């Protein structure tokens, strides 16, 4: 089957047909699909998340999924770097997001340069394409894994990570960028997914707090957590009261 036969145009966006327990059609998406979740439950997350950034020049975002959030970020930020490892989702991402200010990578984010294996949960468990996640130490690994620091960014205003429990490793691979640029950082917090990698929120916050970050707020139904560097918190207060 060709890649074009694995996707469908649903309400103006291309989505993987096999996204959840039932196929996506042009006008129907089951409530357990990533498509339905993003378009109907949390459609405005980029607006909410980006409101915490003092400036909107550069964002690093993962996972890009089919590009529903990426397209919104592209309208707010001067440059968007997005990572999406799943081939069908990445195909949709390229169809949905065509503006030249978006740099798209079919890859995972972590703290090592190596290929990793993906568990495509939409086939094995009937979950949405957003449920695909890294399986460590598997033979036949073929998906490249990069560090955010590989981008060697001089400016980064926001890092938004929704990578199915792999957030700790992405942060470890972004230490130089975080220390240099002090971006707002948003991570997904769902303990069962972090446990896949012997990770937890306490470990992530220990890393962030050691770099001068503070917890600011919860978004996306309390599953995403926002952190800002203490120097940026002062900037926000000054902007309000001066």
Structure confidence at residue 134 (pLDDT): 79
Structure confidence at residue 21 (pLDDT): 84
107: number of Cβ within 10 Å: 18
3-241: CATH topology is: Rossmann fold (3.40.50)
- Tens of pLDDT, residue by residue over 128-155, are 555 677 777 776 778 999 999 999 999 9
- Tens of pLDDT, residue by residue over 37-69, are 999 999 999 999 999 999 999 999 999 999 999
Whole-angstrom Cα distance, residue 120 to residue 151?
A: 27
- Tens of pLDDT, residue by residue over 69-102, are 999 999 999 999 999 999 999 999 999 999 999 9
The residue with tokens 């094995």 is 124
Q: What percent of the chain has pLDDT over 70?
A: 91
Long-range contacts from 34-37, C-beta under 8 angstroms, 24+ separation: 34/65, 34/66, 34/128, 34/129, 34/130, 34/131, 35/10, 35/66, 35/128, 37/128, 37/130
Q: Is the per-residue pLDDT at 236 higher than 80?
A: no
Give 229 or 222, the one with higher predicted confidence.
229
CB 100 within 8 A of CB 107: no
Mean pLDDT, the chain, whole residue set:
90
Burial (Cβ within 10 Å: 0-12, 13-18, ≥19) of residue 141:
middle
pTM passes above 0.85 = yes
């Amino acid at each position: 089957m060709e890649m074009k036969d694995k996707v469908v145009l649903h309400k103006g966006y291309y989505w993987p047909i096999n996204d959840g327990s039932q196929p996506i059609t042009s006008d129907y998406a089951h409530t357990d699909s990533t498509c339905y979740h993003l378009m109907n439950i949390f459609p405005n997350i980029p607006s909410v998340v980006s409101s915490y950034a003092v400036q909107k020049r550069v964002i690093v975002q993962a996972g890009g999924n089919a590009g529903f959030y990426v397209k919104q970020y592209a309208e707010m930020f001067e440059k968007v770097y997005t990572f999406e490892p799943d081939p069908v989702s990445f195909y949709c991402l390229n169809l949905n997001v065509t503006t030249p200010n978006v740099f798209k990578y079919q890859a995972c984010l972590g703290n090592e340069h190596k290929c990793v294996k993906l568990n495509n949960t939409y086939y094995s468990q009937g979950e949405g394409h957003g449920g695909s996640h890294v399986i460590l130490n598997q033979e036949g690994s073929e998906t490249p894994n990069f560090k955010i620091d590989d981008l060697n960014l001089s400016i980064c205003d926001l890092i938004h990570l929704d990578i199915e429990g792999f957030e700790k490793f992405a942060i470890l691979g972004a230490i130089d960028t975080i220390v240099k640029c002090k971006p707002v950082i948003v991570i997904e917090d769902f303990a069962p997914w972090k446990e896949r990698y012997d990770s937890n929120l306490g470990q992530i916050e220990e890393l962030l707090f050691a770099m001068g970050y503070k917890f600011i707020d919860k978004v996306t139904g309390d599953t995403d957590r926002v952190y800002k560097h203490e120097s940026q918190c002062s900037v926000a207060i000054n902007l309000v009261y001066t």
